[in-house]
């Protein structure tokens, strides 16, 4: 009887450990535990005032959720691109600069300090979406139809994107004084939670609905696992690959919009710098194979939060900004190795052997 329940527990445990989402969640929990032990005040959330004078929530947790928003949105698109094309888009950082620049160009016209907006914000957002998706489509065409390696194909925009972004605004750095524009990256008046969190949640809900009501995930995975087989089953692998890049383009547009809204201005060379690497990392941390195929978007999303949690934790421990990447690298290597299928299998085997011994 006792043995039975033991093995049942073990089975349950094995099942959990085998789930792809286990590693990112475990990493998140470990980070939380670490902070809880080191300094419980890390989790304190208190009421502060926003720059506009409204009462808002402040605290590390809020900062993490807030700052992770762009990364979460990007990681969704990056997961799809990775799955279908077996490669990653390294141009998303540059594309965000581009998208942000388009928003400012539309809102400011040619002025650098406009006293009024030249177009409604929604128009600026839509145009930014179109432009970002076009650039996504450009990458998609190179990858899907010209069969370039994704990294090589996206290297083009990676290199050129920020210059194009600067060129769009004649190398000016327009600043928008209209407070309404800042709502999307900061707070809506009267709401105590940063808006990017809502945008990210909305994005996740939309993604969940798309995954639920279309078979995008089945088709994407099928193409990623075996493109020829998919083709013979009537799927158009090129189109699926292409469309994932366009979807990532949309993610870039939203992320770029949030980014410029946060500051109401743009710095072409710094905005969203290295975010592509974090997005790829989020996908990897989620236990998704970077060579494509099966994927779990929720794991990538948690992976994105883990990265942000880690960054804020390191800030909290006053790691100098310059040394941050090195510390991050150490944690990342541990996580990625742990989530490697080889290691996970080994761990599961070890657990099983242990259970078997105990049963004897």
Partner 1 sequence: MQDDVILRLEGICKEFPGVKALSNVQFTLHKGEIHALMGENGAGKSTLIKVLTGVYQKDAGSIYMDGAPVTINSTQDAQKSGISTVYQEITLCPNLTVAENMYIGRTNEMTTSWKKMNAGAKQLLDSLQIPASPTQQLSDCSIAVQQMVAIARAVDMDCKVLILDEPTSSLDEREVEKLFKLMTDLKSRGVGIIFVTHFLDQVYSVCDRITVLRDGTFVGDYLISELPRVQLVSKMMGKELDSFEDIKQEEIADTIDRRSEPVFEATGLSSAAGVNPYDFTIRKGEVNGFTGLLGSGRSESVRAIYGADKVTGGRVMMDGKEVKIKKPIDAMKQGIGYLPEDRKHDGIIGDLSVKDNIILALQVMKGMFRPISKADAEKFADEYIKLLGIKTASAETPIKSLSGGNQQKCILARWLLTNPVYLILDEPTRGIDVGTKLEIQKLVLKLASEGKSVTFISSEIDEMLHVCKRLIVMRDRHVVGELTGGDLTQTKIMSTIAGGEKK
- Examine residue 357 and tell whether it contacts partner 1 (CB under 8 A): no
Q: Are 335 and 285 in contact (CB under 8 A)?
A: yes
Q: Total binding residues for partner 1 by CB under 8 A? A: 22
Residue 8 CA neighbour count, 13 Å, CB half: 5
What is the smallest separation between the CB atom of 161 and partner 1, expressed in angstroms? 30
Identify the bridge partners of residue 45 per DSSP, sorted by sequence position.
Answer: 59
Both structure tokens of 297: 């978007």
- Examine residue 11 and tell whether it contacts partner 1 (CB under 8 A): no
Compare residues 256 and 293 and give the one whose CB is closer to partner 1: 293
- Alpha-helical (H) ranges within 19-91 are 22-38, 60-85
Which of the residues 24 through 83 are near partner 1 (CB under 8 A)? Answer: none
Using alpha carbons only, give the angle 270, 276, 281 rounded to the nearest 5 degrees.
130
Both structure tokens of 70: 């762009």
Which string of x and - marks every residue 215-234 that binds partner 1 (by CB under 8 A)? xx-xx-xx--xx-xxxxxxx
Burial of 95 by CB count in 10 Å (0-12 exposed, 13-18 middle, 19+ buried)?
A: buried
Compare residues 110 and 214 and give the one whose CB is closer to partner 1: 214
Which of the residues 276 through 305 are near partner 1 (CB under 8 A)? Answer: 293-294
What is the smallest separation between the CB atom of 351 and partner 1, expressed in angstroms? 13
Q: Of 292, 268, 269, 264, whose CA–CA distance to 80 is shortest?
A: 292
Q: Of 27, 17, 4, 25, whose CA–CA distance to 348 is shortest?
A: 17
Compare residues 115 and 228 and give the one whose CB is closer to partner 1: 228
Q: What is the DSSP letter of 87?
A: S
What is the smallest separation between the CB atom of 229 and partner 1, expressed in angstroms? 5
- Examine residue 360 and tell whether it contacts partner 1 (CB under 8 A): no
Contact window for partner 1 (CB under 8 A) among 74-82, 161-169, 214-222, 317-325: 214-222
Query: Which residues contribute to the site for partner 1 (CB under 8 A)?
Result: 213-216, 218-219, 221-222, 225-226, 228-236, 293-294, 352
């Amino acid at each position: 009887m006792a043995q039975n329940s033991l093995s049942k527990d073990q089975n349950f445990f094995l099942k959990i450990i085998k789930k792809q989402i286990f590693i990112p969640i475990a990493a998140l929990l470990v980070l939380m535990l670490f902070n809880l032990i080191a300094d419980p005040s890390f989790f304190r959330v208190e009421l502060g005032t926003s720059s506009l004078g409204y009462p808002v929530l402040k605290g590390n947790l809020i900062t993490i959720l807030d700052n992770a928003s762009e990364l979460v949105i990007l990681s969704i698109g990056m997961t799809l691109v990775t799955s279908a094309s077996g490669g990653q888009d390294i141009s998303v950082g540059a594309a965000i600069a581009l998208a942000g620049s388009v928003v400012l160009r539309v809102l400011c016209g040619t002025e650098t300090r406009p006293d009024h907006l030249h177009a409604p914000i929604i128009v600026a957002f839509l145009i930014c979406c179109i432009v970002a998706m076009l650039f996504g489509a450009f990458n998609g065409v190179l990858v899907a139809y010209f069969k370039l390696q994704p990294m090589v194909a996206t290297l083009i925009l990676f290199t050129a994107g920020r210059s194009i972004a600067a060129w769009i605004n004649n190398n000016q750095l327009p600043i928008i004084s209209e407070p309404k524009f800042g709502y999307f990256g900061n707070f809506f008046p009267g709401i105590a939670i940063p808006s990017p969190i809502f945008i990210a949640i909305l994005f996740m809900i939309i993604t969940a609905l798309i995954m639920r009501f279309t078979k995008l995930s089945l088709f994407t995975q099928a193409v990623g696992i075996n493109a020829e087989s998919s083709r013979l089953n009537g799927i158009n692998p090129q189109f699926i690959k292409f469309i994932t890049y366009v979807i990532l383009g949309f993610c870039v547009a939203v992320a770029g919009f949030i980014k410029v809204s946060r500051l109401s201005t743009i710095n072409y060379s710094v905005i969203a710098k290295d975010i592509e690497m974090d997005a790829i990392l989020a996908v990897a941390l989620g236990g998704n194979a970077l060579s494509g195929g099966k994927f779990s978007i929720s794991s990538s999303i948690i992976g994105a939060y883990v990265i942000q949690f880690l960054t804020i934790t390191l800030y909290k421990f006053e790691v100098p900004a310059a040394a941050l990447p090195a510390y991050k690298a150490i944690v990342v290597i541990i996580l990625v190795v742990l989530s490697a299928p080889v290691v996970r299998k080994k761990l599961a085997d070890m657990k099983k052997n242990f259970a078997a011994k105990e049963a004897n």
